């Protein structure tokens, strides 16, 4: 698909309540540079509201275009097409802060301090130094990308653009926005009332820092019954009192009690010097070989330099008054001198060997680091070539290099398959070819989650486009079915073909598993979709993983997603899959249930998070099941 006769869509990166995000190639540039295309769906009740939303979109996009900061993605273009709004921005490669914390656990204070001191100048620029002052409105872990090239935090997804999508013009001509922008758990109270100030962004950054330090969302934290302050320090006892004081102040409910500007908060943080999480012991002083000169009664260091004070003292205390030396004493002194010289030479050789080993290890580590960086930029062959240069002397690093090469070769093959529209085959390749404990496998697991993503509330025909059905629409006539009862036998004979593979359509009956039956709440919230759902199932790599989707027969809206995973698969893969399904709303308690299910414990846990609810269990078929639907 080519948008605006310029941007070629390569793949879908995500989908949410405001629109869809794609990775695209800019065909007007010689480099075919990669960029992110954000497709925004305005929800306006009439043409007048739409025109006003379009005008506001153009104004906000013009503001974004003027922003010039290294930690804000550049805006390449913006346009309207077929009633949809589009922003084209710089593609920032890296993990979001949310993904980093969920995969690695709570971050050290030094890392969080560095993140804040690198982000506060960005907020200060937006608030006071941009061509037009801007309040971000949606600072949260998922909107902070840790850039792969330098690990600097980059701020994405400005909230003002989202707000205009629900612009309403009343009959009297008043313009309102019918939605509150911000993310639950990171949004300050005044923002819920649509009254934002500069310190609203600071509050969100403070709560984001607490999440990074504790791994816990706001909903998992208690509040002081008297002051309403967040009680989070018990989950991060290592945090210094000074850092805790800064975070306590910036997360006050009343904006007047917070830091008033980003610059003021930055000044408060710049005086902090937390203990580094990596304890580096001072190097032990090198032992000097000290030789007692039997001829002069002095001491020497054969390698140059001065002997230690202790060595001099020890030698001096053993000196006796001179007396004539006989031949035997002279011979003994010579023997001692030669022996000491030989010992010194051996020590030199050993030291040189150790230094050589250390240098070789440093070079191997640097090679692997460079290879990983290349792989994260999609340059898999270059990464493989770099990792192949790691020598076999260091068995541990060499094994890691070999595992990494295995991962990147599989990714190379999988990317090619996905580019050909065979995402199911791409997923199967990664699941089969990459061991669960392989080094540097995180990009592969992220690809599995991305390619298998089926977002709730989306159109089934758009997310899993039927490739062998007329007009690419799942309708009775297109399925060669005269009535509903014909759908199952027709699609059993001729399964639906999508990028994930092939699947028959199962139509709802009362005999469906209880997990797939609608509740009264479901029927009340979306009676059309839940009144007559259909189901499709896709399996990969000999059933190591399966994706099951429920959607409305007439509405085509996806109402439930489910994955079943073989417990031999990587825990990191499972966490990444969970995070994708929960749109970044997974919590430590939910992840804990997932870990238990993978270990084989008899888990059957329900959960609620944000606007989603679901189940994690270890099934009777010995699979880890994750099922999600709207709360």
DSSP notation for 466-488: -TTSGGG---TGGGT-SSGGGHH
SS3 348: helix
Domains of the chain: 2-270 (1.10.510.10), 444-630 (no CATH)
Query: How far is 472 from 384, CA to CA, in rounded Å?
Result: 40
Give φ, ψ of 76 to 5 degrees. -90, -35
Residue 327: its H or E element:
helix 327-376
pLDDT of residue 318: 31
Cα separation of 560 and 628, whole Å? 6
Burial of 175 (0-12, 13-18, 19+ CB in 10 A): middle
Q: Considering 26, 138, 425, 579, which one is annotated as catalytic?
A: 138
Residues 446-460, mean pLDDT to the nearest whole number? 91
Mean predicted confidence (pLDDT) in 93-122: 93
Determine the pLDDT at residue 165: 52
Which residue, among 124, 123, 118, 110, has the nearest Cα to 212 in the 3D structure? Answer: 110
Token duo for residue 2: 């080519």
The three-point CA angle 402-406-412 to 5° equals 135
Q: Which one of 43-47, 168-172, 214-218 scores highest in mean pLDDT?
A: 214-218
Instruction: Report the C-alpha gap between 630 and 529 in whole angstroms.
Output: 12
Mean pLDDT over the full length of the chain: 81
Question: Residue 441 has which token pair?
Answer: 């496998």
pLDDT tens readout for residues 27-77 = 999 889 999 999 888 766 677 777 877 887 888 888 888 899 999 999 999
Which DSSP state fits 306? P
The answer to whether residue 124 is catalytic is: no
| Residues 487, 476 contacting (CB under 8 angstroms) | yes
Binding residues: 38
What would the mean pLDDT of 108-130 be, rounded to a whole number?
Answer: 94
Question: Where is the binding site for ATP, in residues?
Answer: 38
CB 606 within 8 A of CB 613: yes
In the 8-state DSSP scheme, what is residue 137? Answer: -
Residue 199 has pLDDT above 50, yes or no: yes
pLDDT-derived band at 392, boundaries 50, 70, 90: low
pLDDT tens profile 299-340: 333 333 333 333 323 323 333 333 344 444 444 444 444 444
* Res 175: pLDDT: 42
In the predicted model, is pLDDT for residue 282 greater than 80? Answer: no
Q: How far apart are alpha carbons 557 and 455 in whole angstroms?
A: 10
What pTM was computed for the model? 0.49
pLDDT-derived band at 242 (thresholds 50, 70, 90) equals: very high
């Amino acid at each position: 698909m080519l948008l605006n006769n310029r941007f070629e869509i390569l793949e879908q990166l995500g989908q949410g309540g405001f629109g869809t995000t794609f990775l695209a190639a800019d065909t007007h540039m010689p480099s075919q540079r990669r960029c992110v295309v954000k497709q925004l769906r305005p929800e306006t009740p009439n043409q007048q509201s739409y025109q006003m939303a379009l005008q506001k979109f153009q104004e906000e996009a013009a503001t974004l275009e003027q922003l010039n900061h290294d930690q804000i993605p550049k805006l390449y273009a913006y346009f309207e097409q077929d009633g949809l709004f589009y922003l084209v921005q710089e593609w920032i490669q890296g993990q979001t802060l949310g993904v980093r914390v969920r995969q690695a656990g709570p971050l050290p204070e030094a890392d969080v301090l560095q993140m804040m001191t690198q982000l506060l100048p960005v907020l200060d620029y937006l608030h006071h130094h941009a061509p037009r002052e801007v309040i971000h409105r949606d600072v949260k872990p998922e909107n902070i990308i840790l850039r792969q090239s330098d690990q600097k935090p980059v701020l994405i997804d400005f909230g003002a653009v989202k707000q205009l999508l629900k612009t309403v013009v009343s009959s009297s001509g008043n313009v309102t926005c019918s939605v509150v922008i911000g993310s639950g758990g990171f949004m300050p109270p005044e923002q819920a009332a649509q009254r934002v100030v500069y310190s609203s962004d600071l509050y969100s950054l403070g709560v984001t820092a607490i999440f990074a330090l504790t791994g816990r969302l706001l909903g998992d934290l208690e509040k002081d019954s008297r002051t309403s302050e967040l009680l989070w320090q018990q989950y991060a006892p290592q945090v210094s009192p000074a850092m805790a004081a800064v975070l306590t102040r910036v997360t006050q409910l009343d904006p007047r009690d917070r830091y008033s500007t980003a610059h003021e908060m930055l000044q408060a943080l710049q005086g902090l010097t937390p203990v580094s999480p990596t304890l580096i012991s001072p190097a032990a002083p090198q032992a000097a070989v000290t030789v007692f000169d039997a001829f002069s009664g002095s001491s020497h260091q054969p390698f140059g330099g001065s002997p230690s004070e202790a060595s001099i003292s020890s030698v001096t205390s053993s000196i006796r008054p001179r007396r004539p030396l006989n031949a035997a004493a002279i011979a003994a002194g010579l023997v001692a001198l030669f022996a000491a010289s030989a010992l010194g030479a051996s020590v030199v050789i050993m030291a040189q060997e150790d230094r050589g080993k250390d240098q070789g290890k440093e070079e191997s580590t640097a090679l692997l680091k460079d290879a990983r960086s290349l792989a994260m930029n999609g340059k898999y062959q270059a990464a493989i070539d770099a990792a192949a240069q790691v020598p076999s002397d260091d068995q541990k690093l060499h094994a890691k290099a070999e595992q990494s090469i295995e991962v990147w070769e599989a990714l190379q093959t999988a990317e090619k398959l996905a580019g050909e529209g065979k995402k199911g085959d791409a997923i199967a390749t990664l699941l089969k070819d990459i061991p669960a404990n392989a080094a540097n496998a995180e990009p592969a697991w992220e690809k599995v989650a991305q390619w298998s993503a089926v977002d709730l509330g989306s159109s089934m025909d758009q997310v899993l486009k039927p490739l062998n059905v007329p007009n690419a629409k799942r309708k009775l006539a297109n399925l060669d079915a005269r009535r509903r009862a014909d759908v199952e036998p027709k699609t059993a004979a001729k399964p639906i073909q999508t990028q994930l593979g092939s699947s028959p359509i199962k139509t709802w009956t009362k005999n469906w598993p209880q997990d797939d039956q609608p509740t009264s709440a479901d029927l009340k919230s979306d009676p059309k979709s839940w009144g007559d759902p259909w189901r499709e199932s896709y399996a990969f790599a000999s059933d190591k993983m399966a994706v099951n989707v429920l959607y409305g027969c007439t509405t085509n809206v996806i109402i439930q997603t489910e994955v079943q995973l073989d417990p031999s698969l990587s825990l990191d893969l499972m966490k990444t899959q969970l995070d994708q399904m929960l749109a970044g709303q997974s919590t430590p308690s939910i992840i804990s249930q997932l870990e238990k299910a993978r270990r084989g414990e008899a888990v059957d846990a329900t959960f609620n998070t944000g606007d989603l609810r679901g189940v994690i269990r270890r099934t009777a078929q010995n699979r880890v099941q994750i099922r999600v639907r709207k709360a």
